[in-house]
Amino acid sequence: MGCQAWIDAAGGSGKFYIQNVKPGISTTDQREQGCRQAIEATGGAGTLVGVDYNDDSAANSAQQTTAVLQRTPDLTGIFGANLFSAEGAAQAVKNANLSGTVRVANFDAPEQAIADLRAGAVDLVIAQKPADMGTTGVDYAVMAVSGDMTGIQKRVPTGYVVIDRDNVDTPEAQAAIYKSQ
């Protein structure tokens, strides 16, 4: 769903690139797979030009993305599967003076990602719901300590919020931004 919002923001067609951490991490593997499926669902209007793995380094992501931008000057969008993937990709797009032309989606919503969104370096921020995750974790810890394991689920989808410049100041978006206090 997050990648679908990214493709929609790019007009539903074009050349797309995925910047990821490394294979074998279930969450980022699933994000990549979801993006691949969303691109395939365009029926050929969108094409995947590549996937690179940056070992969780924004510097590596920036270098790899710069190379992709040079090889594919008509690139439409970049999906960063985690914070450092998106940070590096956004920096490469900014350095190439392509902000606003190449759509960058950032998965994870720290305050810097929101600053990049407001500045136009990033077009979408896909935020998990950290408060919901924390509440569920504490609830489950209390259950476990009290010996009640029956209500603890192995997987608990907490959902996410797609944040863009139009909704960044809404209560829902603000609640999903990872803030240090």
pLDDT tens digit string along 6-21?
A: 888 888 899 999 999 9
Q: Is residue 24 one of the residues assigned to a domain?
A: yes
Task: Provide the mean pLDDT of the chain.
Answer: 89
Domains of the chain: total: 1
Q: Is the pTM of this model over 0.75?
A: yes
Domain-located, residue 82: yes
Is residue 117 within 8 A of residue 123, CB to CB? The reply is yes
> What pLDDT was estimated at residue 8?
87
Residue 77 lies in a domain: yes
Domain-embedded: residue 142: no
CA angle at residue 46 from 42 to 48, to 5 degrees?
120
Checking if the pLDDT of 121 tops 70, the result is: yes
Task: Tell whether the model's pLDDT for residue 36 goes beyond 90.
Answer: yes
Question: Highest mean pLDDT: which of 49-53, 127-131, 132-136, 162-166?
Answer: 49-53
Examine the pLDDT at 87 and tell me if it is beyond 90.
yes
141 found inside a domain: no
Evaluate if residue 69 carries a pLDDT over 90.
yes
Residue 122 lies in a domain: yes
Band (29; pLDDT cuts 50, 70, 90): very high
DSSP character string of 106-175: EES-BHHHHHHHHHTS-SEEEEE-HHHHHHHHHHHHHHHHTT--TT--S-----EEEE-TTTTTSHHHHH
Task: Give me the pLDDT at residue 71, please.
Answer: 97
Q: What is the mean pLDDT of residues 135-158?
A: 76
Domain-embedded: residue 124 = yes
pLDDT category at 133 given cuts 50, 70, 90 is: low
Q: Which domain holds residue 106?
A: 2-128+162-176
Q: What CATH number is attached to the domain comprising 78? A: 3.40.50.2300
Q: What are phi and psi of 125, to 5 degrees?
A: -125, 125
- The answer to whether position 137 is within a domain reads no
